[in-house]
Amino acid sequence: MVETGLGRKSVLVTGGASNIGRAIVFALAREDANIVFADIDEEQAQRTLKDATKQGKGRISFQAADVTKDEDVTALVERTMAEHGRLDVLVNNVGWDRPSAFARQSTMHWRRLIEINLVSTILCTQAALPRLIDAGGGAIVSVSSDASFGEPRETVYGAAKAGVNTMKAIAKEYGRHGIRCNVVAPGLILPTAAEEIGTNSLWVGRDAFFSDDQVEKARKMIPLGKVGRADDIANAVLFFASPGMAGHISGQVLSVSGGYATPG
Ligand SMILES: NC(=O)c1ccc[n+]([C@@H]2O[C@H](COP(=O)([O-])OP(=O)(O)OC[C@H]3O[C@@H](n4cnc5c(N)ncnc54)[C@H](O)[C@@H]3O)[C@@H](O)[C@H]2O)c1
């Protein structure tokens, strides 16, 4: 059996409280990784922290941080170094979307999309990179979206996520330092229960995770005939994070969308 090699590694996950981020924290916890996860939703983060600590032997902590703010990101990386003395893996999971017609999106709205989806990834990657290099190499895994390949009503969100995809250039620029950089691009990933998401989740107010009708419509558009779940993305993130399984894989964008998006 191939070992993931993530046990006792120091991992930083952004947006770890809700839905996909929460599943990523749980998956890493089961591998006995030492985890610091960041979020702006402290209440949901405390619930996730409680559940995550039961799942493995690693040390897990939560840091309240807005990863669109330089000072919060600096403090977040410093906290990780203070707790674990090193950084081996960065997971850029934070993101936000509210699909709407491009022509009707206010400047405030589209600037927010770029801040939360792209600027946060740039800030965290820049802050973490020197620490990953100090550790002798490591992995950056970012979460983008199938909207990065072009989806209606998600034009600016998709542009920001395409920027996240393109940041895989880090793989070429820093490969000589042992840095791997990969991207997971989820398709539709629905939560299954209210406790899986926080009050700040992009799913709040969205027809209670879609009505049965909406799920059915979405399901029909997906070749595998089912909507994705948070664990589907966590598994792909875990794979890319793992030096044991993906030690020679870098600079890739992987669509996890049940066959909906087939880039390349
Ligand atoms: N769920 C989907 O269908 C889907 C599809 C494609 C891509 N994605 C991407 O996957 C990622 C996770 O999505 P999700 O469905 O779990 O969303 P979610 O909204 O449920 O979770 C995102 C978490 O990030 C936190 N967050 C938001 N802004 C933050 C900030 N500035 N600083 C710190 N934390 C912040 C939120 O509080 C929340 O806990 C996002 O990048 C999203 O764009 C999701």
Note the pLDDT of residue 206: 66
**What is the average per-residue pLDDT within 218-238?**
96
Q: Which residue has the higher pLDDT, 205 or 254?
A: 254
β-sheet bridge partners, residue 165: none
If DSSP states are collapsed to H, E and C, what string results for the chain?
CCCCCCCCCEEEEECCCCHHHHHHHHHHHHCCCEEEEEECCHHHHHHHHHHHHCCCCCCEEEEECCCCCHHHHHHHHHHHHHHHCCCCEEEECCCCCCCCCHHHCCHHHHHHHHHHHHHHHHHHHHHHHHHHHHCCCEEEEEECCHHHHCCCCCHHHHHHHHHHHHHHHHHHHHHHHCEEEEEEEECCECCCCHHHCCCCCCCCCCCCCCCHHHHHHHHHHCCCCCCECHHHHHHHHHHHHCHHHHCCCCCCEEEECCCCCCCC
The pLDDT score that the predictor gives to residue 180 is 99
Q: Is the pLDDT of residue 208 over 60?
A: no
Band the pLDDT of 209: cuts 50, 70, 90. Answer: low
- Mean pLDDT (the chain) is 96
Residue nearest to atom 22 of ligand 1 (CA): 15
Residue nearest to atom 1 of ligand 1 (CA): 189
Strand pairing category for 60-64 and 89-92: unpaired
**Residue of 263 and 238 predicted with greater confidence:** 238
Per-residue pLDDT tens over the stretch 133-181: 999 999 999 999 999 999 999 999 999 999 999 999 999 999 999 999 9
Mean pLDDT to the nearest integer, 6-19: 98
Lowest mean pLDDT among 42-51, 81-90, 189-198, 211-220: 211-220
Is-above-0.95 flag for pTM? Answer: yes
| Ligand 1, atom nearest to 45 Cα | 39
Q: How far is CA 46 from CA 39, 68, 150, 195, in A?
A: 10, 21, 35, 12
Q: Indicate which atom in ligand 1 lies nearest the CA of residue 115.
A: 31
Atom of ligand 1 nearest to the CA of 161: 43
Alpha-carbon distance of 253 to 1, in angstroms, equals 25
Give me ligand 1 centre to Cα 1, in Å: 32
Q: Which whole-number Å values give the CA distances from 218 to 79, 95, 187, 213, 225, in the listed order? A: 41, 21, 10, 9, 9
37 has pLDDT over 80: yes
Ligand 1 proximal residues by C-beta, below 6 Å: 14-15, 17-21, 38-41, 44, 65-68, 93-97, 116, 120, 143, 145, 186, 188-189, 197-198, 200-203
- As annotated, the active-site residues are 157
Q: Where are the domains of the chain?
A: 10-256
**Average pLDDT over every residue of 24-49:** 98
pLDDT at 13 over 80: yes
Is residue 207 pLDDT above 70, yes or no? no
Angle at 233 between CA 28 and CA 141, to 5 degrees: 65
Question: How high is the pLDDT of residue 111?
Answer: 98
Q: Whose CA is nearest to atom 19 of ligand 1?
A: 201
Ligand 1 center to residue 2 CA distance, Å? 30
| pLDDT value of position 210 | 67
Report which of 39, 253, 61, 251 is spatially closest to residue 139, judged by C-alpha positions.
Answer: 251
Pairing of strands 10-14, 34-39: parallel
What percentage of the chain carries pLDDT values higher than 70? 98
Does the structural domain 10-256 have CATH classification 3.40.50.720?
yes
CA distances from 45 to 32, 64, 154 (A): 19, 9, 27
Pocket test for ligand 1, best of 12, 13, 19 (most atoms within 8 A of CB): 19
Return the closest-CA partner of residue 256 out of 245, 238, 246, 26. 238
Instruction: Name the residue of 37, 74, 201, 215 to mutate for ligand 1: max ligand atoms within 8 A of Cβ.
Output: 201
Judged by average pLDDT, the poorest of 19-23, 124-128, 143-147, 218-222 is: 218-222
